[in-house]
Amino acid sequence: MIDFLTYIASLVIGFLLMIKSADIVTNHASNISKKRGISEMTIGMTLVALATSLPELAISSTSAFVGKTDIALGNVIGSNITNVALVLGLCAIIRSISIEKRVVGSDGAWMLIATFITSALLYFGDFGRIDGLILLLIFVAFLYFLRKTEKGNYSGAKTGESALIDVVWSLGGGVLVWIGSWIAIFGVEGFANYFGIKPIYIALTIVALGTSLPELIVSIVAITKDLKSISVGNILGSNIFNLLLVLGISSIIRPILVDSSVLSFYVPIMIISSLLCVLFMRTKWTLERWEGFTLLLIYIAFISLIFKGF
């Protein structure tokens, strides 16, 4: 019983530390960008998306480093399904979301590109360092596209203030995120062993939900404040970061062994949820409540498959 409580405490403490630290990184990274004269849209698609994806990056890269590659892969796939089907689904249920055409044409397109390419590489067999390098190169192209769009559509004034303190806080927050990931992984492994459950199932559910909490919190707060574009942009940006950056780095650290159940059930669910998300946004340029319920049903089906041992 003591062991069980220790594992639960490790999960809770690890996740809370990662989420709070990611919040520190977000705030100070945003300050840096504003001082450098970068638009809020680009900040949201890059720094905010990166900060809310830091828990996924920390968990997956640390898991790969210690040889638990199934946790690394399960975390990324589970988080992307959770972000679209649960987080965006709940946001749409709370309030219908009007969608800018540019969001679907650029951010949505990049998410689908990342999803399809990653899925294709996974179906070719085990995910190695070459695959990770391909994802990182696509990630660089994504950043170049964002920067080019930024220069063409926005010209912000630099404040001239020093960003040194913000840099120090951001780096310190990043270190705390990784410390939290080590604590959480200890809890994941112990929890899985205690109940005799495959670690990948824990990664697809508990870990994925835990690392998606920043996206959930940011998106729901944005919806309640009627900042709908930030909510959608955060989800799409986070999914792009998860696939291209998080999985790319993790597979370079250590090649990832791909479980057959991942290819049979969970990758298809990730593809379907991503496709439906973009298609729903494209219809009438609004993500309506019934579409949110549909996405939520996909998440329920996803959880049901895991409980049935698929």
pLDDT at 163: 66
Residue 92 or residue 7, greater confidence = 92
Highest mean pLDDT among 6-10, 26-30, 117-121, 166-170: 117-121
Of 70-74, 114-118, 164-168, 295-299, the poorest mean pLDDT is in 164-168
**Closest to 260 in 3D by CA, of 102, 114, 92, 70:** 70
Looking at the domain assignment, is residue 156 inside a domain? Answer: no
Give the mean pLDDT of 278-302.
90
pLDDT reading at 9 higher than 90:
no
pLDDT at 240: 93
Looking at the domain assignment, is residue 270 inside a domain? Answer: yes
pLDDT at 257: 85
Looking at the domain assignment, is residue 75 inside a domain? Answer: yes
Q: What is the pLDDT of residues 228-260, one digit of tens each?
A: 666 677 788 889 999 999 999 999 999 988 888
CA 206-212-218 angle, to 5 degrees, is 145
Helices (H), the chain: 2-35, 40-43, 49-65, 69-81, 89-94, 101-102, 109-123, 129-153, 164-195, 199-202, 208-211, 213-224, 228-240, 247-253, 260-261, 267-282, 289-307
Residue 103 or residue 114, greater confidence = 114
Residue 205 or residue 182, greater confidence = 205
pLDDT at 245: 92
% of the chain surpassing 70 pLDDT? 81
Q: How far is CA 81 from CA 77, 176, 219, 297, 298, in A?
A: 6, 26, 15, 12, 9
Q: What is the average pLDDT score of the chain?
A: 81
Looking at the domain assignment, is residue 36 inside a domain? Answer: yes
Looking at the domain assignment, is residue 216 inside a domain? Answer: yes
Looking at the domain assignment, is residue 158 inside a domain? Answer: no
pLDDT at 61: 87
Looking at the domain assignment, is residue 157 inside a domain? Answer: no
pLDDT reading at 39 higher than 80:
no
Residue given tokens 């780096």 in the structure block: 171
CB 48 within 8 A of CB 54: no
What CATH number is attached to the domain comprising 257? 1.20.1420.30
Domain count, the chain: 1
Of 43-47, 54-58, 81-85, the poorest mean pLDDT is in 43-47
Output b/e per residue, 156-179; b: 16+ Cβ within 10 A. Answer: eeeeeeebeebeebbeebbebbbb
Looking at the domain assignment, is residue 196 inside a domain? Answer: yes
pLDDT at 301: 92
Q: What is the pLDDT of residues 144-196, one digit of tens each?
A: 887 777 655 544 555 556 667 877 787 777 777 778 777 877 777 777 777 77
Residue 161 or residue 290, greater confidence = 290
Q: What is the pLDDT of residues 131-143, one digit of tens each?
A: 999 999 999 998 8
pLDDT at 46: 65
Phi-psi bin for 196: left (phi > 0), alpha (psi -120 to 50), beta? left
For 147, the domain range is: 2-151+163-307
Highest mean pLDDT among 47-51, 69-73, 102-106, 219-223: 69-73
Give the mean pLDDT of 95-121.
86
CB 46 within 8 A of CB 146: yes
